[in-house]
Each structure stands twice: as structure tokens, then as C-alpha cells.
Amino acid sequence: MKTLRRYPPDHFINRELSLLAFNRRVIAQAADPATPLLERLRFLCIVSSNLDEYFEVRVAGVKEQVKLGGDITAPDGISPIEVYRRVCSEAHDLVAEQYARLNNEILPALAAEGIVFIRRSQWTAAQSTWIREYFLSDVMPVLTPIGLDPSHPFPRVLNKSLNFAVELEGIDAFGRNSGAAIVQAPRALPRVIKLPSELCEAPNSFVFLSSILHQHVKELFAGMEILGCYQFRVTRNSDLFVDEEEVKNLRTALQGELPQRHFGDAVRLEVADNCSDIMADFLLHQFDLQKTDLYRVPGIVNLVRLMSVPDQVDRPDLKFAPFRPGLPKVLTKRADIFETIRKQDILLHHPFQSFEPVIRLLQQAADDPHVVAIRMTVYRTGTESVLMEHLLRAAQKGKEVTVVVELMARFDEEANMSIAARLEEVGAHVVYGVVGYKTHAKMLLVLRREDGGYRRYVHLGTGNYHPRTTGFYTDFGLMTCNPAIGDDVQEVFKQLTGLGRAGTLTHLWQAPFTLHGSMMEAIAAETTAAQAGRKAHIIAKMNSLLEPEIIEALYTASQAGVKVDLIVRGVCALRPGVPGLSENIRVRSVIGRFLEHHRIFYFHADGGETLYLSSADWMERNFFRRIEVGFPVLNPTLKRRVLKEGLRSYLADTAQSWLMDSDGRYKLTTTRKQRVSAQDLLLSELRQAD
């Protein structure tokens, strides 16, 4: 049965292809000579990491649709089988470009700077001796070669693990001659090994684990002749399935599902380009994959492992210059953060400004005898988070600590379950939100006894409570003790921990109840203003734009004469610049040193300038299947800051800004005359002075 459509398919760009286009923009950072050399290498590694998740989740989903015979479901009207065909073609081209950049540009440039990756054929006698000793002492003891025969079937290969398929000839001690074996490289082994400097001419010389194993694989198969040894890596479907209608304990259900993530259906096979056709076909058969799922690469099969190289090389001239995040002046005047927030709202712009005030707020709340309760949402925070340590201490001191932990945060489920267990051990209240709705809102509420009553201190953010990622994700955070906002946040926490109907909120827009409708109303108001001949302007910044009703509302606004500026880092299904449909809409994507992550929504509102921050993208899941909040910036000075720093600076970017055309293609806006980087500008303005 065909899915009914409300809007013409040609109004939308395909999500999966748009995501691949984003990764091409990341590769462009690796190709840009203005990017420091080791950072260019890091950008290539980021592409590999992105592609891993892309195949684990997005391609796996498309393949499931094809397998189930799914009909057209996406707004763009492309069938799953056609999406899969186009994705395979685009992904193969993208990977080819990635390795071409690595082999033809970045590795030679690194070698010229004394950073080399030595091939086996280039090892000196001294290096060969050291590498053999390393293999015998550090590598061989943890390897388990598995010969393939009737009593040793093909092993269960872990998702994204490094493996070697070995072609053999000869008879072993038991008279067996299977002709093939599998060697799995334990994840504890480093994939890139730095050689002692006294053995090398170049100051930074590395060898790959794959090269070491290739050279010494014969040690694992005594008396056998090695005909070939080939790296391979399989990517598996990593989406978790939990029947939310049947599950009685979400945490227990996830604990049962997580171990199976490593052994989901295979979706991609990567092999080195020297792999024989016979072995490649054998592996494809073992994993039930097709030729289109095979990716032959001229180099190591997992570039993510090169991510460690910049950290092992002491060459600051080949990396982004370090910086110290700044602080708003008001936070440098007083040690008491509660007193500071009482004086005025505080806006933090990460990573240009420090995340330390948020940590300080939680630290002081844990130690302050006047604080009686702390409530916080946790989506991603890391396994060793200083924020969690403060929460644990607060609970141990007898404060009422309530933490809403999102167990279904993809790829952070285990870390979040560990955090939940630790909090429960010290008496904190741990809840898992609402089954069927991910809790994605970023909220922290501190209840403090003051002046014979209670005052609520609130932090709301566009990004996670993750001290590490705040160092390279762009996000806004707002600290306030505005009573109405405090009441709103308290109401949302009450919904998450208790039962009952949703109450009316004064300032916050909340998904799944009012966020979508409020956005639609704000867009409609701009449309009405334009139709009446008044100024109308929408500026929105986000990670992804996919929700069909929002897209159609923006088309209507454009046709009415509303100027629409969209800054969308990743996936964008809207087609800008189509005559008669969207000629007043411009879409740009900014890709730079930091990961653009804040969501900002500005509406001219007849000069009233409504401005909301949120953790929600304009996607169906954020509007209807998540707990999200959009929060206003009410202070006029702070509102001007958000407009200037978060929106107008990015609209003026001519260094790392890509303009999108109506077919989903992107063109870099760099001009020869002037190269203005929004991120560099914000660094110079907001970082701590040297």
C-alpha cells in the first residue's frame, strides 16, 4: 500500500544523499591548504567516523526497508531500492575521494614535515628487529588465529573490528588443509605504533598494526605457506530494537539488547585493495552482502585510527592554535555564582567561552547548605564527568537530587546506564523520562532556600552537559533565575518524573506539545506581515532541516515575500532558490574548526524580534517523538549578542560557508578579496586574553 503524500515529492531533497553531501564538505576542509596539516588529517578521520555511523544507522535502515519490500515513505518520493542504489554510488565516490586526498596530498605533505608512515618494504634492519620483538611481546600473545574447517566455522566478527583473512596452503599437524584462516586484532592493540626516534631518520615515524601483522603472520601458522593476508572490516546494523509497548523495565531491556549491537546484520565490507577476488567474494558470502556493499580501499581500512596521530606528534605549528575560553565579565567579579545570576541573566557561548560556570553552578549547589534540590537531564555527558561527581556529592550530602537519564541516547546507552547505577547507589532519584519519547532537552534546575521562600536557578542549553564536547561544539547556554522560566522548567521536570496532563508554560515551547505549533505560528506571522507589506525576516540555524510541514510553511513565507536565511550544518531537505516556490530562501552550511551545533530561531515579529534557543532541530523526531524545549532570550543585550554572534556572523562568513542550490549541491563562498571566518572572529572576540 502506497503512502499518501500531502506535498509534491519534488519539493524535497533526499535525506541520505544530503548527509553524504555534508561529508563532502568535511573532506573539503581536509583539502583546504589554509587548514593546518595535522588538522587536515583529522578531518579525513572525522569523515570515516561519520561514515561508520551513517552505515550503521542510515544505510542499515534503507536496507531493512528494501528487505521488507517497503514502498515509498520519504517526502522526496524516492523508493528505498533507488535510495540504496544512489547511496552506494555516492558513497563509493566519496570514499575514493577521501583516500585520494590522503595518499596524494596529505601523506606526502606530512612526510615533507618529518611525519612518515613506513611501509614494510622500507623498514631498515634495525626497525625490522624492533618490530619483530614488538610483535612477539605485545601482539602475538593476544592473537587467536582461527583456521576454517568443519570444526571451526567462520567466527562471529565484531562490528567495525580489524580482521585479517589469510589464504594458506599446506597440511597442518592434524592433517588439515582448509586453505583459509581468520585473525581478529583485539581492540586493545593500537592500530598505529610510533617507532623509537633513534631508529628513524624522520622525527615522527609510524608503522601500522596491519603492516606488522602482515609481515609476521607466518608466525601464527607454522609450517604453512602464506598465499595472501588481507585486512577486512565489516560494519553492522547498530540500531537497537526495544518494543516500547511491551517493555516493563527499559534499563533491563537495554542491558539485554546492547551485547547484540556488535553482531547485527552486516551492511558494509571494507577490504584493502590487494585483496584477491576469491577472498573478497568469500567474505561477501559469509556476511550475506552484495558486490555493491564492498569497498576496496588503497590503504588501511579504518582511517579513524589515524585520529591518534596528531596527539602523538609535538608539532603545534601543524595544528590549530590553542586558546583559552573566555568568561563574561560579570562572572569574573564575583565568586558566588548564585549572587551573579540574581544580578542578571548570563549567556555563555561555547567553545569560545568556558563551560566552567556551569560546572561551578553545580559544584556550589552541591556544597551550599541553602540548596535543597537539584534536577537535571542527562543525554550525553561522558563516562567520567565532573558534573556527575558533583551530583553524586550533592546526593550524599542529603540534597534531593533528581536526574532524568536518557537511556536511548544512541551509542551512549552503556555510559548512561553506568551513570544511572552510580546515582542510585547514593540515593539520587533516577528516572528514564517517558517511554516512546527521548528526553533531549538540556535543563538544570537548582532550588535554593532564600528570604523565607525558594528561588529557582536554571541553566538551559542547546548542547549536552558534556565538558569535553563543549570544547569543540558551538552551543549557547543561558543561566537565569527568572521566576516564570523557573516555573516552566519545574513543570517540565514534573511531567518527566510524575503523571498528569501537561500544564501551560509561560515562556518555553515544548515538544511534543507546543514546539512545532509555536514555530508554525511564528512562520505564519512573518508570512502575514509580508503579505501586508511590512518587513518580515526569518533566520534559523540548526543541524538538520527535514520536517515537511515546516518546509512547506517556509515555502509559503518565501512566496509572500519573507526573507528567509537558513544556516543548516548537515542534512537539508528544503530546496532554496526555486522560482515561484523558494526564491527568497537562502541555505548555507558552515564547516570549520568547531562543530556547529547551536539551534537558534529568529523571527522579526514586526520589530519585536522573537528569538529562541533550543536543542531541537527542525525534524519530525524532535517535534513529535522527543522531549525538547525552546527557550527565549529575554534580556535585550543578550538577545543582541545571540543575533550578532550566532546568526549574523555566520551569514557574513566568506571562508567556510557553503551555499546550497536547488538540487542540493553546495558551493563554497570563499572570495579572493576577503576571507572572513565566523569562528575565527568569535575566537578573537570571546576567548580569554593572553
Which one of 486, 503, 520 terminates a domain?
A: 503
Q: Is residue 595 part of a domain?
A: yes
Q: Which of 41, 20, 35 is nearest to 655 (CA)?
A: 35
Q: Which residues contact 220 (CB under 8 A, 6 or more apart)?
A: 140, 143, 145, 166, 181, 183
pLDDT of 242 > 60? The answer is: no
Neighbours of 532 (CB within 10 A): 10
Q: What is the pLDDT of residue 568?
A: 98
- Asked whether residue 354 falls in the same domain as residue 497, the answer is yes
Do 547 and 574 lie in one domain? The reply is yes
Q: How far is CA 666 from the centre of its chain?
A: 21
**How far is 288 from 455, CA to CA, in rounded Å?**
60
Least confidently predicted of 263-267, 293-297, 342-346, 566-570: 263-267
Number of domains in the chain: 3
- The percentage of residues in the chain with a pLDDT greater than 70, rounded to a whole number, is 92
Tell me what the mean pLDDT of segment 457-476 comes to: 94
CA 388 distance to own-chain centroid: 21
Last residue of a domain, one of 438, 469, 503: 503
Residue 340 belongs to a domain: no
Closest among 95, 70, 96 to 84, alpha carbons compared: 70
The CA-CA-CA angle for residues 682, 687, 689, to 5°, reads: 130
Does 582 lie in the same domain as 636?
Answer: yes
User: Domain check: are 537 and 488 in the same one?
Assistant: no
| Average pLDDT rounded to a whole number, residues 239-246 | 49
Residue range 681-688: average pLDDT? 94
Q: Are 352 and 326 in contact (CB under 8 A)?
A: yes
Amino acid, single-letter form, for residue 639: K
- What span, in angstroms and rounded, lies between the C-alpha atoms of 218 and 215? 8
Under 8 Å between Cβ of 20 and 6: no
Residue with cell 514555530: 519
Question: Phi/psi at 603 (nearest 5 deg)?
Answer: -130, 130
pLDDT score, position 68: 84
Residue appearing with cell numbers 536511548 = 408
Beta strand pairing status for 371-378 and 400-405?
parallel
Residue 253 has pLDDT above 70, yes or no: no
Condensed to tens digits (0 to 9), the pLDDT of residues 70-117 reads: 666 789 999 999 999 999 999 999 999 999 999 999 999 999 999 999
Q: What angle do CA 412, 413, 415 make, to 5 degrees?
A: 65
Residue 159 identity (one-letter amino acid): N
This prediction has a pTM of 0.93
CA-based nearest residue to 265, from 156, 110, 183: 156
Q: Select which of 214, 350, 440, 466 is catalytic.
A: 440
Q: Kindly report the average pLDDT of the chain as a whole number.
A: 91
The answer on 390 and 526 residing in a single domain is: no
pLDDT tens digit sequence for 43-60: 999 999 999 999 999 999
Q: Is 466 a catalytic residue?
A: no
Q: Are residues 632 and 576 in the same domain?
A: yes
pLDDT of res. 411: 53
Q: Which three cell numbers stand for residue 689?
A: 586574553
Inside any domain, residue 124? yes
User: Is the confidence at residue 266, as pLDDT, over 90?
Assistant: yes
Residue 303, pLDDT score? 94
Which pLDDT score, from 0 to 100, does residue 255 have?
47
Q: What is the pLDDT of residues 610-628, one digit of tens each?
A: 999 999 999 999 999 999 9
The residue with greater pLDDT, 362 or 173, is 362
CA distance 126 to 123: 8
Confirm whether 267 is domain-assigned: yes
pLDDT at 172: 66
CB contact at 8 A, 101 and 29: no
Give the pLDDT of residue 258.
Answer: 45
CA angle at 253 for the pair 619 and 250, rounded to the nearest 5°: 60
Residue 339 in domain:
no
Residue positions counted in the chain: 690
Cα–Cα nearest to 622, from 569, 565, 543, 555: 543
Please check whether residues 117 and 190 belong to one and the same domain: yes
Residue 689, pLDDT score: 72
d(CA 310, CA 316): 9
pLDDT digits (tens, 9 = 90+) for 387-419: 999 999 999 999 999 999 887 555 556 676 778
Residue type, 137: S
Residue 274 within a domain: yes
CATH number of the domain residue 111 falls in: 3.30.1840.10
Query: pLDDT class for 150, splitting at 50, 70, 90?
Result: low
| Average pLDDT, integer, range 175-194 | 85
Give the cell for residue 351: 567553545
Grid cell, residue 495, equals 511531567
Asked if 77 and 205 sit in the same domain, the reply is yes
Per-residue confidence (pLDDT) for residue 408, from 0 to 100: 58
Residues 6 or more apart in contact with residue 411 via CB below 8 angstroms: 53, 238
Same domain, 615 and 637: yes
| pLDDT at residue number 245 | 44
Residue 260 pLDDT: 52
Confidence category of residue 498, pLDDT binned at 50, 70, 90: confident
| Alpha carbons 403 and 26: distance in angstroms, whole number | 36
487 and 516 both lie in a single domain: no
pLDDT at 175 over 90: no
Per-residue pLDDT of 520-577, as tens digits, reads: 999 999 999 999 999 999 999 999 999 999 999 999 999 999 999 999 999 999 999 9
Q: For residue 413, what are the domain limits?
A: 345-503
pLDDT digits (tens, 9 = 90+) for 666-681: 999 876 567 899 999 9
Q: Residue 398 belongs to a domain with what CATH number? A: 3.30.870.10
pLDDT value for 543: 97
Q: Is residue 444 a part of any domain in this protein?
A: yes
Asked whether residue 329 is domain-assigned, the answer is no
Q: Which residues, at least 6 apart from 436, have a Cβ–Cβ distance to it below 8 Å? A: 244, 625
288 and 391 together in one domain: no
Do residue 529 and residue 624 come from a single domain?
yes
pLDDT score of 241 more than 70? no
SS (H, E, C) 634-680: CCHHHHHHHHHHHHHHHHCCCCCEEEECCCCCEEECCCCCCCCCHHH
Chosen domain end from 503, 519, 535: 503
